[in-house]
Structure 1
Amino acid sequence: MRRLPPFSALRAFEATGRRGNLTHAAEELYVTHGAISKQVKALEDALGVPLTRRAGRGIELTSKGRRLIPFLTKAFDDIDAALRTVSSETFEGDMIISCMPGLTNAWLIPRLPSFLDQYPNVSLTVFSTNQLNSHEADIEIRYGRPDWPNRNITMLRQLDVFPVCSPRLMNGPEPVRHIDDLFNHTLIDEPGGAHWREFFVSQGKDPSKVTRTLRFQDFTHCITAAREGLGVAMGDDLTVEGDLAVGRLVRPLLAEVRRQSLAYYLVTAPDQPLTGAMRAFINWLTLEIQRKDRS
């Protein structure tokens, strides 16, 4: 007979370790910061060992906590996969998804095999567009502020944004070692340059010192240009994680900005009933987009 701590405590600690702090874990599990803290403490009491310790205004994992996290993450992934396999036959039908081009290309398409394997009776049509309410989509994935009227809106994930560039640039004559080194390079952004301006202000630097820029209307083109060594772009921890994992892009600096007012959202019509196909996709998307350890 297995003697396991409470499932809720294991789940709270796994989310805390994977997401990096109590606040992000609370957002993922839709509970309060205090509830997560109590569950983590309950697990530590049950095991009789410290798993976390204070670090500034937050917490960090102890060596035992870091050792435990990968085992818990795999266990929860296995449980999720088993449950989806058992229940996948109840989810079927056709569905239209509208998703932003950058996320479609860099994140959604590489992960769709996972969804299609789990739900073989669901057929998808994906429209890649920045326009809300396009093509009468059943489900829309949007990035921005949730000020879209007459919509059901659920936050999927906030982003951390940071400079990214080609490894060739870092191996060239002017590598980026410090923030001021960025001013020696072409800085790639969307029209207006808001991403770089926000970054420099957050780091206490003057954005007016930027001398060379390259602008593209589509975020996907910004990242493509960075891969080709045309300069340094602002990436985020969702759409460039695959590039970072395989070395197509690198992070020259640790500095980053948490975009508090902007996030990815799931958007549906207010009176639209959820079909089996829609429920399947929403369940899969919500879990997959919150994972920060997948490439």
Structure 2
Amino acid sequence: MRRLPSLTALRFFEESARHMSFNKSVSALCVTPGAISRQIRLLEDSLGTRLFDRDHKGIRLTAQGRDLLECIADAFDAIERVTRSLSSSRKSERKRLTVCAPPTFATRWLSPRLGSFMRAVPDVDLSVRTDDADERHFSIRFGYEALADRRSDFLFIERHVLVGAARYADEPLDALLARLPALHVLHNDARLTLWPDWLDAAGLPREYEPRGIEFSTLDQAIHAALAGTGIAVVDRSMIADELRDGTLAMLSAVESTGPYGYWIDVAAVHADDDGVKAFAQWLRAEGAKSAGLSVPLV
């Protein structure tokens, strides 16, 4: 069994000797000056020799202190090199997966679910982006067909319902449609056909559709609906929490489907990557759960 002084005391001694000041080593060690003084004193007592000469000018290493510093500095350097090497080796075993997703999908659908993926596949680090680029390993795309140059798998189709702030739940639908602006979402600078598609499914005239407010993202339209600014036709997969907690109310039982949905796109160069395959498998399972979402009409 090794007979060594306190490693904490040796660490405090080495830091103080490098700074040649107890006070200057305080910030490096994140302790009080008194704690440093106590550890140095304990070390000197255990060795039976003085390591520092102290006077009004400060501290200086004794001959014994210089010998000890040379020894433990080499030892600590060796320990640091090995531990850094081990840490770097472990980090190199981890895989980094960069995922691109539409902003609202990333915020409202993907992010709350990622904890289960990290628990299932702990050796993968995820980077979720909303700006598409070629270096992404994996893309989740809003669209209505597969891409010819990618491995495209369908995730789930949008299921649209008419929603508004909870305070509108008891008002007649025709009164709400006549009084409140329709909240629209733009895609490629054009309105998505959410409103006309839903009005057709409900058997209502399209005259309600032109009057309204346009937003560049679905998330903006959802926040406006929550604030009571207007009413919106929204993919229910994106508002599961709001429907569940009652902050948004479904104003009709009518549901329209598509034509857009979400697709998983993987470039051929990444198709056989284990991290990509694991994420795709997990995502398909979560998508299947989302497709079976059931929230009661308020």
TM-score above 0.5: yes
- 1:236 aligned residue: 235
Local SS of the residue matching 1:253: strand
TM-score scaled by length of structure 1 = 0.61
Contact 1:92 1:119 in 2 (8 A): no
- 1:274 deviates by 2.3
Match of 1:189 among 184, 190, 201: 184
Matched letter for residue 183 of structure 1 = A
Supply the distance in 1 between the matched residues of 2:294 and 2:268 (Cα, whole angstroms).
Answer: 32
- The one-character-per-residue Cα deviations of 1:230-267 (angstroms, maximum 9, x if unpaired) are 111111131111221122211111011022x3221110
Contact 1:92 1:276 in 2 (8 A): no
- 1:181 deviates by 3.8
Q: Which structure carries more strand by proportion?
A: 2
Matched letter for residue 103 of structure 2 = P
Q: Across the two proteins, how many residue pairs are aligned to each other?
A: 197
- 1:264 aligned residue: 262
TM-score scaled by length of structure 2 = 0.61
Contact 2:146 2:263 in 1 (8 A): no
Closer/same/farther in 2, CA of residues 147 and 209 from structure 1, 3 Å limit? same
Counterparts of 1:84-233 in structure 2, within 5 Å, are 93-129=95-131, 131=132, 134=133, 136-170=135-169, 175=171, 177-178=172-173, 181-191=176-186, 192=191, 194-210=193-209, 212-233=211-232
- Unaligned stretches of 5+ residues in structure 1: 1-90
The list of structure 1 runs, each at least 4 consecutive aligned residues, that deviate by more than 6 angstroms after superposition, is: none
- 1:294 deviates by 8.3
Local SS of the residue matching 1:254: strand
Supply the distance in 1 between the matched residues of 2:145 and 2:153 (Cα, whole angstroms).
Answer: 9
Identity %: 22
- Higher Rg of the two aligned structures: 2
Local SS of the residue matching 1:137: coil
Supply the distance in 1 between the matched residues of 2:294 and 2:199 (Cα, whole angstroms).
Answer: 29
Closer/same/farther in 2, CA of residues 205 and 216 from structure 1, 3 Å limit? same
Local SS of the residue matching 1:252: strand
Moved more, 94-103 or 263-272: 263-272
- 1:143 deviates by 1.5
Contact 1:183 1:211 in 2 (8 A): no
Aligned CA RMSD, in angstroms, stands at 2.3
Supply the distance in 2 between the matched residues of 1:238 and 1:135 (Cα, whole angstroms).
Answer: 28
